[in-house]
Amino acid sequence: MGAPGWRFGAAPRAQAPRPSGKATRIRPSFAARARHCLRLAAAAAALLPARGLPGQEGRTPPAVCIIGAMAGEIRPIREEMRDAVERRIMGIVFYDGRLRGARVVVAESGVGKVNAAMATTLAIEHFHPRGIIFTGTAGGLNPALRPGDVVVGTRLVHHDLGDCTPAGFVPWGAKNPVDGKRNPVFFDADPSLVAAVEMASRPAGPPPPDAPAPGGGPAVVKGVIATGDAFIRSAARGAEIRKQFGADAVEMEGAAGAQICRQHGVPFVAIRAVSDNPGWRAAFSAQPFFNKAAANSAALVVRTVEILERAAADRDSRPGRLP
């Protein structure tokens, strides 16, 4: 899979105000990339399994499980896998194999929050991944985003969970059955996985002095992803979600999977590429942009797995490490 020419440091387009803080465009710098490498190596040591540890059925536990809602969202990733074994659990197909050297499990959950929660729960119970990456497409709510641009979800939120009062919609978190406490409204992605995605979106080294200015590739931003059991075709409703939650993108699975991860103590991150926005959905089909968006999201997921595997290999090769 050829990685897109990610666009770094582009001049930000006009953005609507957001109550929870604006999306952060990931900007490159060689010194910053070096610092991220150091942080990532330390973070991956805690996140990824050590080589040779006994895992499920005598195998090393998967580094990550990758979950997408539709076949087209995971197909580019499956095509990159090697030695994949198909397992069907309660109707959901999981592909267990190798991706850029790392053992991963890839699943198609189906559309909607219930399906996403079910697939995430089954992945955790049957494969015990050290982290979960949610991938796929989304509708853009940030007006600065264009088809193919990618949102790295640092926070995920249910936009349809709460009280509908005469004064308006009041969001709240559902009770966590594991500990009896109420979940937060926003679910925060794991910082080490976010750092890995950020590193994956950047060039491998400093550009040559005569390199052309970056531009033309998909933008990558960190921001808020809102989730609900409705396909948002209304521009007015999309604007409401953005205003209330500061959301940059909207989809139908992420926050449900994030809630399951939080309740089980499993690190997660969401990577979503914009295929359309509510205004475009009202005018015409988003299908022409779906494949482009799905490919961009998948390419960043594959690169992230490669970064994590490289960090794990570096950790295992350090002098003095016990076998």
Task: Single out the catalytic residue among 108, 198, 248, 276.
Answer: 276
Query: If we measure between CA atoms, which residue out of 218, 276, 208, 294 comes closest to residue 1?
Result: 294
Three-class SS of 207-271: CCCCCCCCCCCCEEEEEEEEECCCCCCCHHHHHHHHHHHCCCEEECCHHHHHHHHHHHCCCEEEE
**Three-class secondary structure of residue 50 per DSSP:** coil
248 catalytic per annotation: no
CB 121 within 8 A of CB 153: no
**Three-class secondary structure of residue 79 per DSSP:** coil
Instruction: Name residue 288's amino acid.
Output: P
Residue 128 region by backbone torsions, left for phi larger than 0, else alpha for psi between -120 and 50, else beta = left
Task: Single out the catalytic residue among 73, 80, 190, 309.
Answer: 73
Instruction: Name residue 283's amino acid.
Output: A
Q: How far is the C-alpha of 31 from the C-alpha of 18, rounded, in Å?
A: 30
CA 197 to chain centre: 8
CB 168 within 8 A of CB 2: no
Matching residue, tokens 């006994």: 54
The two three-digit tokens of residue 322, written as one number: 């016990």
CB neighbours of residue 67 within 10 Å: 30
316 catalytic per annotation: no
Question: CA angle, corner 13, sides to 246 and 288, nearest 5?
Answer: 85
Strand partners, 221: 25, 151
Catalytic residues: 73, 276
